[in-house]
Amino acid sequence: MRVAILLVSGLFVLCCRVLKNAARVTGGVNGLGLLALGAGAAELGREVSLPVRLADGEEVTRPVTELLRHGEQVFRANWTVQEGGGRPRTKGNGQPLTAGTAPLVFPRNFNRVSAPDANSCAGCHNAPVPGGNGDIVANVFVTAQRFDFATFDPGDDVPTRGSQDERGALATLQTIGNSRATPGLFGAGYLEMLARQMTAELQAIRDALAPGQSAPLVSKGVNFGTLSRRADGTWDVSQVEGLPAPSVVSTGTVPPSLIIRPWHQGAQVVSLREFANNAFNHHHGIQSTERFGTGADPDGDGFADELSRAEVTAVCLFQAALPVPGRVIPSDPVIEAAVLNGENRFMAIGCAVCHVPNLPLTEAGWIYTEPNPYNPPGNLQPGQAPEVKLDLTDPALPGPRLGPVHGVVYVPAFTDFKLHDICAHEDDPNIEPLDPNAPAGSEAFFGRNRKFLTRRLWGVASKPNFFHHGLYTTLREAILAHDGEARAARDAFAALSDYDRNCVIEFLKTLRVLPPGATSLFVDEEGRPKPWPPARFTAWTRLPAGALRLSWAGDNGLYAPPRLFRLQQTERLDPPAWVDIETGPGATVEIPTSEGTGFFRLLPVHP
């Protein structure tokens, strides 16, 4: 037991806890001075990002609030060489350095292209707050981590050491990897749980197929083509669409996995956990025990067990619990009218065919669990550790949250989780030089990539740049760059009037990450809750026997379930005494009235 004294606002607070594994002395954490009594002399002057570590098993004994707090600390940690930061003898893909390569130690300890390339997760995922998007400076060169240390030295003739690729061709900055923008992780828990449910639904369709049968692969209204099973029991995936190559591979009678991979813009990663295990090694040189083994030091830096299973769980929970984006709609009537019209045009020209406004989570699918049942090898598997659960609808989590409506949580992410070819001719600069879903060095790998996961539009206006490469600085540029499968919608946008095109942009500008502490998904420019969409009465009719029929409109198909409104009545306005009037599921109600004066209003009901 070690005793620590904290100086907080001039008060000494005595606290006792067992400090484990890492640094026990820190000078100033969030303004607190921490002195650990009894610390050995060897600990003085130690410089680490995580002075207190989480041991395996603590992920099931610690309160969720502590796990989330520790997970955020792991996400924000600026890793140092005194706790295993860096990977002197391994590549970012986990493989040993090429024979004869000098260790990746100073001055070769960081490399902006082949990595390690960041001190912390929050170094890239930070806009507008940790967990968010990245500026163009935070772009990642996807697949360049297969190189030891990128130099582009034409005199280096050893493949994947510094200059030559697997074919012996000299790599350039434009061909060594795919330059990808850093996406935000807001609402990540809901997204992963949607992907899991869709995977389960697709696999159920697959498992019901007898030899000689075919069936459409449809989940949550999203069509992934047709899967066929031949008479001999083998599988025909030629008509399956929108899934990455690893999810449709089939050998003999072994069926395709049909796993939805919601992470990475090329749909390469199954889970937040796989994403974390990959990224900590790739970007920071921090190896997790579940990926690299307990007691192992694969990168030769003198540190073993650099990231525990419990800490990977904690950082995944932190990401899963991040608040969902919402809408910021200015109160200017001109902008309000433009936003509403932009919503209608967005739906009418076909954008919502791929950017599906809402997808439903059913059967308590909002209970996030670790580990993901579809994790690939090298990541924690079900049964290897106790399951950890997190209710994503818990109002105690950072807001705003999505809640169930009649047993369904509707996730307004504006995606279909499908890969789409959105490029034009073979010279389209939006085509990537490498296909990350093919084996590195293979012919398919060098066959370029033109398919991308449908961009989740929630929060898009909080991003500083756009498209998979982040080279567009305006939403308008990104829209007009769509081609291939998206060409019809792009052409429809281009054919709109100037006003209607501007309205679509104004609508997209409302899709933002909300200010910390927001409780409503719809706020005005001051962060105050805002009723939206605006409702309007469309007709009223006096009926026999003193009844009144009221009709209204407000839903435009963008919202699921159809936006509901609460009808209220008051007999006076000074002061008003609004009373709810019971209505059915439609947009019409008949109510008895007296001969006196009556006033009515509509309020939107938000999930």
368-407 pLDDT per residue, tens = 999 999 999 999 999 999 999 999 999 999 999 999 988 9
Per-residue pLDDT, averaged over 169-193, amounts to 98
Q: What gap in Å lies between CA 141 and CA 390, rounded to an integer?
A: 33
Q: Which helix (H) or strand (E) holds 178?
A: strand 178-180
DSSP 432: B
CA distances from 483 to 267, 460, 487, 533 (A): 19, 20, 4, 31
Give CA 509 to chain center in angstroms.
19
Q: Is the pLDDT confidence value at 271 over 90?
A: yes
Statement: residue 164 has pLDDT above 90: yes
Question: Once rounded to an integer, what is the mean pLDDT over residues 303-308?
Answer: 98
**DSSP SS3 for 281:** helix
The pLDDT value given to residue 550 = 82
The confidence score (pLDDT) of residue 606 equals: 59
Distance CA 424, CA 556 (A): 32
Averaged pLDDT for residues 314-319 = 98
Q: What is the mean pLDDT of residues 48-58?
A: 96
Residue 4 has pLDDT above 70, yes or no: no
Q: What are phi and psi of 236, to 5 degrees?
A: -110, 110
Position with higher pLDDT, 200 vs 571:
200
Q: How far apart are CA 26 and CA 52, in angstroms?
A: 10
> How far apart, in whole angstroms, are the C-alpha atoms of residue 228 and residue 214?
4
pLDDT for position 600: 85
pLDDT of residue 535: 75
- pLDDT at position 114 over 70: yes
Length of the chain: 607
For residue 524, report the phi and psi dihedrals to the nearest 5 degrees: -90, -175
Q: Does residue 8 surpass a pLDDT of 50?
A: no
Contact call for residues 419 and 452 (beta carbons, < 8 A): yes
What's the pTM? 0.88
**Domain formed by 536-605, architecture:** Sandwich (2.60)
The pLDDT tens digits for 28-39 are 333 333 333 344
**Alpha carbon 295 to its chain's center:** 32
Would you state the pLDDT for residue 3? Answer: 32
Is a pLDDT exceeding 80 seen at residue 5?
A: no
Distance (Å, whole) CA 250 – CA 256: 5
Question: Angle at the Cα of 601 (from 597 to 607), degrees rounded to 5?
Answer: 155
CB 315 within 8 A of CB 416: no
- Per-residue pLDDT band at 596 (split at 50, 70, 90): low
Alpha-carbon span 132 to 488, nearest angstrom = 31
Please count the other Cβ atoms lying within 10 Å of the Cβ belonging to residue 12: 9
- Whether the per-residue pLDDT at 16 is higher than 50: the answer is no
Give whole-number Cα distances, 274 to 312, 371, 372, 511, 586, in Å. 10, 10, 9, 28, 45
Question: For position 203, what pLDDT does the model report?
Answer: 98
Q: What average pLDDT does range 447-475 have in this prediction?
A: 97
Q: Is the pLDDT of residue 433 over 90?
A: yes
Mean confidence (pLDDT) of the chain: 90
Q: Is 573 exposed, middle or buried (0-12, 13-18, 19+ CB in 10 A)?
A: exposed
Report the b/e string of 227-263 with b at 16+ CB within 10 A. bbbeeeeebebeebbbbbbbbbebeeeebbbbbbbbb
Q: 131 and 322 in contact (C-beta within 8 Å)?
A: yes
**Residue 409 pLDDT exceeds 60:** yes
Amino acid at 85: G
In this predicted structure, what is the pLDDT of residue 552?
A: 74
Q: In the prediction, which pLDDT does 595 show?
A: 54
Residue 151 pLDDT level (bands cut at 50, 70, 90): very high
What is the rounded average pLDDT of the residues 449-454?
98
Is the pLDDT at 323 greater than 50? The verdict is yes
pLDDT band, very low/low/confident/very high, at 531 (cuts 50, 70, 90): confident
562 confidence band (pLDDT: 50, 70, 90): low
Largest CA distance in the chain: 95
- Per-residue pLDDT, 40: 54
Residue 68 has a pLDDT of: 98
Q: What is the pLDDT of residue 554?
A: 61
Report yes or no: 313 and 294 within 8 Å, Cβ to Cβ: no
Q: Average the pLDDT over 179-208 and give the result.
A: 98
**Are the CB atoms for 87 and 301 separated by under 8 Å?**
yes
C-alpha span between 342 and 504 (Å, rounded) = 4
3-state secondary structure 411-480: ECCCCCCCEEECCCCCCCCCCECCCCCCCCCCCCHHHCECEEECCCCCCHHHCCCECCCCCECCHHHHHH
H/E stretch holding 495 reads helix 487-495
- In which band, very low, low, confident or very high, does the pLDDT at 101 lie, cut at 50, 70 and 90? confident
- pLDDT interval class at 326 (50, 70, 90): very high
Residue 80 confidence class, pLDDT cut points 50, 70, 90: very high
**Amino acid in the structure at residue 137:** V
Is residue 402 within 8 A of residue 411, CB to CB? The reply is yes
Residue where the block lists tokens 């059915």:
584
Q: Where in the chain are all domains bearing CATH 2.60.40?
A: 536-605
**From 81-90, 335-344, 524-533, the region with the lowest mean pLDDT:** 524-533
The pLDDT score that the predictor gives to residue 7 is: 33
Higher pLDDT, 217 or 29: 217
Helices (H), ranges, 250-388: 272-279, 289-292, 309-320, 333-348
